[in-house]
């Protein structure tokens, strides 16, 4: 459990995919600490239901919902444009939303869905909001990755799995991309007072496995051993608020403690190459 008692009065937090699971629990915790929390959700109706629940559980909670579809760069740009127009500060960005082991699908821009949402969508969102994060410093970026990054490789020759598609391997690739993005972004943000760390939330009972019948059955059988969404959110909260992490950046955490990173997740060369490829795919320049 995150032991920090830090208050967030006057702070602004943005959480993607916050309408359910660990995203909603992270939003609830940050709202309880006094933050203004913005839930960025593809399904606005479910987002409003989550916001209503948070307001019911936290008296005076400052919670709002905004539409964001990370599978569509037009939606991401429209979201960021409105956000920058209407919100003056951003102290915590939690890149939480994710897709897991879905059938082969493409985003609106033609990216394979898992690399498109889990990595490229958040890459673009962070790029569009990085100026505000710097102006609001000290600020933090929290990237929800997974233990699955250990089994991932960045397939630069076929990043979008057009040659062959394995939903599990595509998921692992996207989670490795999260770790590499975190490390490279931390290097580029050095000295800015904006930190970025990644995390493994644990194996959590959530809707994330809905696309995989086998995983759904396994989760049902072993449900007593899985974390609740509240338990799974603890490391996200820890990375967002813990006082001892104020100057820590580019690290990976699990169970509110430093965690092992696979060798392929520590490669500076791969991280820089993935950064360049991501910028090219998204049509942006991010030095």
Of the candidates 89, 66, 80, 83, the one whose C-alpha atom is nearest the C-alpha of residue 9 is 89
Interstrand relation of 257-258 and 252-254 (parallel, antiparallel or unpaired): antiparallel
**Residues 240, 199 contacting (CB under 8 angstroms):** no
What are 8's two structure tokens? 């967030």
Name 53's Cβ contacts closer than 8 Å, sequence gap at least 6.
24, 28
Distance CA 110, CA 91 (A): 32
Of the candidates 159, 57, 56, 154, the one whose C-alpha atom is nearest the C-alpha of residue 116 is 159
Angle at 204 between CA 242 and CA 42, to 5 degrees: 85
**Residue 171 falls in the annotated catalytic set:** yes
Q: Which of 104, 127, 165, 171 is catalytic?
A: 171
Active site residues: 171
């Amino acid at each position: 459990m995150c032991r920090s008692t830090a208050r967030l009065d006057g702070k602004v937090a943005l959480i993607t995919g916050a309408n359910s699971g660990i995203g909603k629990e992270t939003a609830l915790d940050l709202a309880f600490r006094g933050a203004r929390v913005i839930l960025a959700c593809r399904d606005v109706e479910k987002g409003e239901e989550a916001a209503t629940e948070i307001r019911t559980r936290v008296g005076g909670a400052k919670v709002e919902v905004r539409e964001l579809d990370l599978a569509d760069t037009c939606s991401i740009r429209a979201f960021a444009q409105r956000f920058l127009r209407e919100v003056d500060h951003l102290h915590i960005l939690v890149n939480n939303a994710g897709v897991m082991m879905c059938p082969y699908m493409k985003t609106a821009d033609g990216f394979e869905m898992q690399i498109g949402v889990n990595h490229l969508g958040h890459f673009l969102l962070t790029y569009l909001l990085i100026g505000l994060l710097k102006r609001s410093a000290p600020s933090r970026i929290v990237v929800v990755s997974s233990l699955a990054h250990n089994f991932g490789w960045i397939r630069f020759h076929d990043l979008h799995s057009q040659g062959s598609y394995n939903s599990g391997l595509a998921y692992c690739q996207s989670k490795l991309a999260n770790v590499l993005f975190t490390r490279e972004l931390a290097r580029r943000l050095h000295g800015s007072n904006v930190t970025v760390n990644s995390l493994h939330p644990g194996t959590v009972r959530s809707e994330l496995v809905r696309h995989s019948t086998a995983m759904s059955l396994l989760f049902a059988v072993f449900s007593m051993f899985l974390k609740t969404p509240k338990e799974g959110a603890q490391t996200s909260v820890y990375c967002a608020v813990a006082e001892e992490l104020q100057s820590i950046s580019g690290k990976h955490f699990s169970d509110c403690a430093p965690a092992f990173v696979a060798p392929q997740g520590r490669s500076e060369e791969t991280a820089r190459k993935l950064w360049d490829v991501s910028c090219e795919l998204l049509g942006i320049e991010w030095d």
